[in-house]
Chains A and B, each alone.
Chain A
Amino acid sequence: MRKMWNLALKNIKFRFREPQQYLFIFGFPILFVFVFWVIFKDMPSSVPPHNQFDVFVWGFIAFTVAFATQSASMAFSREKEKGTLRRLMTTPVRTSSIFGGFLLSEVLVIIIQLAIVYILSFALLGVHFSSILALVLTFLMYILCGLFCVGIGLILAALLKPKLAGELPMIVIMPIVFLSGIFVPLSSEIVYFNPFFWIASFGRELGFSGSGLFDTIKILDFVGSVDTGIAVFWCIPMTILFSAVFLGIGLYLFNKRCLK
């Protein structure tokens, strides 16, 4: 556990000692919310009494989290390229500690970025969170969604040469984001195979679930939602499933191709 924590700490130091990382961790979500606000601030609400941001914000947050793909891919391909992973493997450290340390630091960055987006969404965009439980649940679900993105990043880092692993992730993840229907609704069943669809649906349903804790709990039942016809509850296992599968594939591939 100590080894895992020391490796995570090492990754965190990288994040906070390289000036360009500040731009990615803090600057990017702030800028993103601001641009989003400038574009949509004058748009009339389609779902009064909620504002238009209550509809779009969940897709927008998912879009922010999607950048974890790039971050993860670059982090691992950098270690692969510089040989530091190989050097670590000359010590009696388990690969589980290496991956654990890496995931801890990635999750920390995702949490920081999500916190920034949540705070600004509330303060600047006036997004309505129906309850603290809704806020916490959606936050946790987005962390899971971030792990899905980290999984994709790991897969790319394992399969691609370092230079490509730094350039391709956004080209891969952006179509996945847009094919989820979170920005422009898609009538195709393809959305069900996309974790962004589940996470954004979850956020939207909880966002509109009245006001207070009981309303949030009530919406988490097995009754089909108005929007999708699928029970909101199912968004949770579906997001977990996608995250676990893609993270598992990423870890397996990277371990097999780069650490063996």
Chain B
Amino acid sequence: MTKIVIQTMDLTKQFDDLVAVNELNIYVKRGELVGLLGPNGAGKTTTISMLSTILKPTNGDANVNGHSINANPHEVRKKIGVVPQENIFYEYLTAKENCELFASMHGIKKEEIKSHVKDLFQRLQLEEKMNTKSSKLSGGMKKRLNIMMGLIIDPDIIFLDEPSAGLDPQAARLTWDFIRGLKHTGKTIILTTHNMHEAEELCDRIYIIDEGKIIAEGSPQALRANIGDGEFFDLKFKSKTDLEQLKSKLEDLGSYINKVQVLSEDRMVISATGGVKRLLEIEELLPEGLDSLQNLNIHGNTLEDVFLLLTGRKLRE
């Protein structure tokens, strides 16, 4: 049985009146790549900050690599690598000096990690910029340096906070490939993201988090299957319609209607199996057929749709 290396126990963080993380219970097995997927402000970064001992929980505890984050934060820090969302490093130091400084904070001399540093710079295609002042690097290079600094000690457990945020598609791909490479070396990784593609591409398992609480958990495939394999119909009506009544009619149609969610007075989403032909049956229930609609969007189920059906909101809202 694979060992659980991260486990939270009712982990809670409150800032004044705001409960950012609410009695969170998650676990991560050794070698797993687990995603915390949720919109901005869902509590993802706060969770990572607590697990990496930057923030003290208001209540609850977590075990990271066998050590309590409350009782033994110093021990926790010895085995983790943290990559924050923003690029955080000393701009007046060179890329290499930044990496060596953070390695030295783990008690590692620069001679000891010389080959590891070189390898990291090569893998992240930064070797030519090793001795360049960090402030002089381009945006993408800064992001890669930011990642590199979190991995400089070759940690067993890695926390990645929105690793591809702000990157162009090509740089994001490079980052994803790099993260996949890390996973193949047996690292345990938690990453936060509000990017469903990133979560689907990289994660073995996902916790969907909203308003500080876990609202769903599973592999990307399992989460999508939860709302039914099939199509996702997003209906925007021209005017206010009695959508609650329409919802109950739709639910009576049969088992191929998996889930229906009313988002507003003029918008609803439907998860259904059976392909586009279901549209004909749905159309018959609309007051003026397809003329009732201002906009209709049909596509295969995604994690974005899972979140939409669970919360009634989009991930980026």
Contact = CB atoms under 8 A, between A and B. Distances in A.
Contacts of B75: 92
Interface in A66-125: 82-84, 86-94
A10 interface: yes
Contacts of A82: 88
Contacts of B77: 90-92
Interface residues of B, number: 26
A93 B54 CA distance: 12
A10 B93 contact: yes
B203 interface: no
Contact of A3 (B86, B89, B107, B133): B107
Contact of B104 (A3, A14, A17, A260): A3
A84 B89 contact: yes
Contacts of B104: 2-3, 6
Given A87-B84, A90-B52, A13 B105 contact: no
A189 interface: no
A260 B88 CA distance: 19
Nearest to A94: B74
A18 B56 CA distance: 35
A92 B92 contact: no
Interface string B16-58: 0000000000000000000000000000000000001110100
Interface in B80-106: 80, 82, 84, 86, 88-90, 92-93, 97, 101-102, 104-106
Contacts of A92: 74-75, 77-78, 105-107
Contacts of A3: 104-105, 107
Chain A interface residue number, banded = 20 to 34
Nearest to A79: B90
B105 A86 contact: no
Nearest to A15: B92
A18 B52 contact: no
A7 B102 CA distance: 10
Interface in B260-284: none
Contact of A90 (B82, B93, B97): B82
Nearest to B75: A92
Contact of B90 (A14, A93, A94): A14
B298 to A, nearest CB: 43
Nearest to A88: B105
A91 to B, nearest CB: 4
Interface string B105-139: 11100000000000000000000000001000000
Interface of A: 2-3, 6-7, 10, 13-14, 17-18, 82-84, 86-94, 260
**10 closest pairs, A vs B, by CB?**
A91-B105, A90-B82, A92-B77, A93-B105, A83-B88, A6-B104, A87-B88, A17-B92, A92-B78, A14-B92
Given A2-B104, A10-B93, A89-B53, 8 more contacts: A7-B101, A10-B101, A13-B93, A14-B92, A86-B54, A87-B149, A92-B77, A92-B107
27 contacts: A2-B104, A3-B104, A6-B101, A6-B104, A6-B105, A7-B101, A10-B97, A13-B97, A18-B92, A82-B88, A83-B86, A84-B88, A86-B84, A86-B88, A87-B84, A87-B89, A88-B102, A88-B105, A89-B54, A90-B52, A90-B53, A90-B77, A90-B82, A91-B77, A92-B78, A94-B74, A260-B56
